[in-house]
Structure 1
Amino acid sequence: MAAFGESKTMRIAELKLGVYLLRFLDVPEKFQRMQADTIAFLRKFDFSNLTVRRGAEHKLIDADELIPGDRVLTFGRLAAPVMIAKQEHLNVLIKVGFQQVLVVEPVRAQQPAANTSFTLAVPAQAPWAKVEPPKPRPKAPSVVIEPIAVESPPNEPSLKRKNDAGDLHQIQDNLSWAKRLAKESNQILEELYESNFINKEAVQATDQLSVEMAKLVEANPHAGNVRSLLKDEDEYTYHHSIDVAQYVISVCHLMQGYGGKQLASVAVGGLLHDIGKSKLPKNLLKKQTKFTPQEKELMRQHPQLGAQILSDLGYTDLQIDIAKHHHVLRQGGYPRQDYDKISNLARLTGVADIYQALTTKRPYKTTEVPGSALQTLLKLSKTQIDPRLVILFIKSVGVYPIGSTLRLKSGEIAFVVGKGTNTARPQIVPVIDKQGKQILHHQLIDLSDPEFAALTVDQPVDHREYFANEALDIFQNLSVL
């Protein structure tokens, strides 16, 4: 699948065939009062989160909930990007009366350019700084993935666009896709873990979902990360695997230019990195308190069990290496293995595994906000994990990760919606004012813009304290023009 460029606003008259429609930015007169034909039109596009006036009330509904008489105030996002493939499609949009839309165009994937100015303080003589890729197995599939070239990541694209909400809209446009994939992945992983034997059909379905995850990351690498941060948490084991896979492939795509089958193959390794836990007692996986020493020892068997499962099913050496060695550290970890003999992708999966565990709420531990979790990774990089991959991970998610929540010194609570040109001054949208009331009219603020120099970040905060389990829905429905 081709990668997508940045979203942009276009007039209907400027549209050409082959672009993908993301969002309608104006409300034609036809939709001032809904009738049967206009309701049918909107349902064809599978709209979600339409803001309508119904009598004296304002409601947020999906297209299938529309009734005659509703007045559309703002359009939400399409469930997935829709390609304008025929001239008839353009004619319909013109006839209906739309003026402006948000679109993306597919672009050919390019090899990332080297950025020789990026250096890391890694001693060249350090044994863990040298990585040998695993030798290819005869039965491995044809997809071959090179180790991550951590020495020279490409330049990040500039996000310097004052008052431009296009990046936020693109994330929002893909969140429904990200949520659907997470739900499907959760169902398949649950089937794998709950079975007393490995269900080959479910494993094959995991392969298909990995292709979809790769397509999502190519369309927008941040949407899945936002879902991972703000999700309503329930089945930890399954969501943990989904989140880890998402973080790993977003790093590989953003920082290394991975795409297509290569990216999907990495996603498989991420989704199945904990598959060995399917062989452990089910009550151990669902335990809500700390493990006893005996239970810890039992849990530490899962990497080797997982590697055996994937080996028996014919997965690649690299995917097996991810399952077997994602808990190996420079000093310790399990199973016992020299850190310099495991792949970069196994190490990166270990980094993502730690970050996801730190930022996810569990009854027996303190949850860290994303910024604090990144600081923990930096501390661990001094002795336990690869500092080069920690830097790549932080450059990918951002010093203030998109989807994280900040308190400003002026008292407002805001979502981070973009990295900005200054990593310490992200793009934000305030959602709670200094009196603690919800903000209804949202404004995108680029803190790196001199106009907002007086606004400063107080500290990252836990979104659960302010939004409970509604943070993801609130983020998805931020209305910024």
Structure 2
Amino acid sequence: MTPQLSGNYRRVSPSDIRLGEPLPYAVYDASGMLLLKAGFVINTERQRDVLVENGSYVSIDSAQPKPARPNLPTATVTEEHNSFEMFDLLKVRLKRTFDLYKSGGLTDDFVPRIEGIALTIQEACTHDTDSALANLHLDYDSSYAVIHHLQAAMLCELIGKKLGVPDDSRLPLIKAGLTHDIALLDIQDILDRQTTPLMPLQRERINAHPGDSEAILAKLGVHEKTWLDAVRHHHERLDGSGYPDHSLGPAISLPTRVLAIADIYSAMVRDRPYRKAMVSTEAMRKLMHEQGEQTDSRLIGMMIKEIGVFPPGAIVRLANGEVAVVKKRTTNTACPQVYSFVKPNGMPMLTPQSRDTTQESCRIEGMVPFSNHRASVVVLRGLWNH
């Protein structure tokens, strides 16, 4: 059992949450884990209902009635830092969930926890997709397991939305993205440090992890077919070369195909012990050229169009010699909004400067590995995290 809240807290009721208005107080789960910061905006009845049904709490002191404010600042829904900060919180929540699972401290509350994270991913992406994408592309300090699962889940949300799948129908796939490698969590820290070839037992664990993850999730109370099917088959390939069931094209469902692509891309753009992270353009090219026949090339093209050739958070070199970070996508995927933070002579700028990449002097010439500029991460995060 997880620890319970102590002190002056009460359960959230439906009347505490007004759709489309900033929360006047922070919301916690039964273990005292922060779920939503004050000021976060809930737009859907579904997310409000999940918070109420699964047991969310507020401090009695902070939830005392306050004088009415007829003109609440609902414009905060579109402020960029909301979604950026929300993904920082999601990292903490997912890590806490994984830690509790590994210690045996989760029973009935595993599914509600994952569902709450999935719903928050939907909300954050609805508010500001650029900030959500940037947050994960700029993070090379959080654990691989946390970032990989969050990034895969977010890509599932974005591709699913692009396909026109309704909000509720996208949730099982987002939850699959958050949990698809759960059977490897107990050895992930070892794999993250290992530079030698895999031992036979490790190879067996990796080959078995899709089916093992499905079984673990079923024991934790997962019953949704889409969630379980996507987890079991996310390493299947259209030509039958995948595992564990060697399924062929038509037998691989659309949600599973989406998760397979999200999983591959997310793994490519993260540092691994045996190789450096690929820049996103290289990962996309490799996906299209080397995985196009094994995965779904239509979905790969859809993902590239959705996140951009140069995704938010990507580090790029400009024609004038400056190094910049991508801030926002534009209708022209080759010309996003960027901010330069390194001068042509290699010296850092005191304050990042906006550059127009449609101008020849500021044209993007290519991408630069983030690892070359990790010392600038605080400055870069400041562009979103006001």
Q: Which string of whole-angstrom CA distances, capped at 9 and with x for unpartnered residues, describes residues 176-218 of structure 1?
A: 11110111111102322x2369633234322222222222222
1:352 aligns with 2:262: yes
Output the TM-score relative to the length of structure 2: 0.75
Determine if contact 2:173/2:259 at 8 Å carries over to the other structure: no
Task: State the secondary structure of the residue aligned to 2:361.
Answer: coil
The structure-2 alpha-carbon separation of the partners of 1:475 and 1:302, relative to structure 1 and needing over 3 Å to count, comes to same
Structure-1 separation of matches of 2:276 and 2:70: 52
Task: State the secondary structure of the residue aligned to 1:310.
Answer: helix
Question: Which residue number in structure 2 is paired with residue 172 of structure 1?
Answer: 81
Among 283, 294, 301, which residue is 1:373 paired with? 283
Question: Which residue number in structure 2 is paired with residue 240 of structure 1?
Answer: 148
Structure 1: stretches of 5+ with no match in the other structure: 1-16, 22-43, 47-77, 94-100, 106-168
Query: Shift of the alpha carbon at 1:477?
Result: 1.4
Determine if contact 2:111/2:222 at 8 Å carries over to the other structure: no
The within-5 A match list for 1:336-415 is 336-415=246-325
1:288 aligns with 2:194: yes
Query: Shift of the alpha carbon at 1:480?
Result: 12
Q: Which string of whole-angstrom CA distances, capped at 9 and with x for unpartnered residues, describes residues 287-325 of structure 1?
A: 522413442232110101112233442421111111111
Question: Which residue number in structure 1 is paired with residue 75 of structure 2?
Answer: 103
Structure-1 separation of matches of 2:41 and 2:103: 38
The within-5 A match list for 1:110-149 is none
1:427 aligns with 2:341: no
Q: Which amino acid in the other structure matches residue 381 of structure 2?
A: Q
The structure-2 alpha-carbon separation of the partners of 1:18 and 1:445, relative to structure 1 and needing over 3 Å to count, comes to farther
Query: Shift of the alpha carbon at 1:439?
Result: 2.4
Q: Which string of whole-angstrom CA distances, capped at 9 and with x for unpartnered residues, describes residues 360-407 of structure 1?
A: 112222321111111111112432211011011111110111110101
Q: Which amino acid in the other structure matches residue 150 of structure 2?
A: I
Aligned residues: CA RMSD: 3.3
Structure 2: stretches of 5+ with no match in the other structure: 1-17, 27-36, 43-65
Query: Shift of the alpha carbon at 1:349?
Result: 0.9
Query: Shift of the alpha carbon at 1:327?
Result: 0.7
Determine if contact 1:19/1:103 at 8 Å carries over to the other structure: no
Determine if contact 2:233/2:243 at 8 Å carries over to the other structure: yes
Determine if contact 1:276/1:306 at 8 Å carries over to the other structure: yes
Question: Which residue number in structure 1 is paired with residue 169 of structure 2?
Answer: 262
Determine if contact 2:184/2:209 at 8 Å carries over to the other structure: yes
Output the TM-score relative to the length of structure 1: 0.61
Which is bigger in relative contact order (C-alpha 8 A, separation at least 6)? 1
Aligned residues: percent identity? 23
Structure-1 separation of matches of 2:104 and 2:69: 53
Query: Shift of the alpha carbon at 1:276?
Result: 2.7
1:309 aligns with 2:281: no
Among 148, 157, 162, which residue is 1:249 paired with? 157
Q: Which amino acid in the other structure matches residue 163 of structure 2?
A: Q
1:276 aligns with 2:183: yes
Task: State the secondary structure of the residue aligned to 1:199.
Answer: coil
Query: Shift of the alpha carbon at 1:476?
Result: 3.2
Task: State the secondary structure of the residue aligned to 1:435.
Answer: coil
Q: Which string of whole-angstrom CA distances, capped at 9 and with x for unpartnered residues, describes residues 135-154 of structure 1?
A: xxxxxxxxxxxxxxxxxxxx
Q: Which amino acid in the other structure matches residue 75 of structure 2?
A: V
Question: Which residue number in structure 2 is paired with residue 11 of structure 1?
Answer: none
Among 188, 209, 222, which residue is 2:130 paired with? 222
Structure-1 separation of matches of 2:310 and 2:149: 23
The structure-2 alpha-carbon separation of the partners of 1:282 and 1:359, relative to structure 1 and needing over 3 Å to count, comes to closer
Query: Shift of the alpha carbon at 1:428?
Result: 1.0
Query: Shift of the alpha carbon at 1:412?
Result: 0.5
Structure-1 separation of matches of 2:152 and 2:91: 12
Among 100, 111, 115, which residue is 1:207 paired with? 115
Task: State the secondary structure of the residue aligned to 1:172.
Answer: helix
Determine if contact 1:79/1:177 at 8 Å carries over to the other structure: no
Query: Shift of the alpha carbon at 1:262?
Result: 2.9
Question: Which residue number in structure 2 is paired with residue 455 of structure 1?
Answer: 362
Number of aligned residue pairs: 332
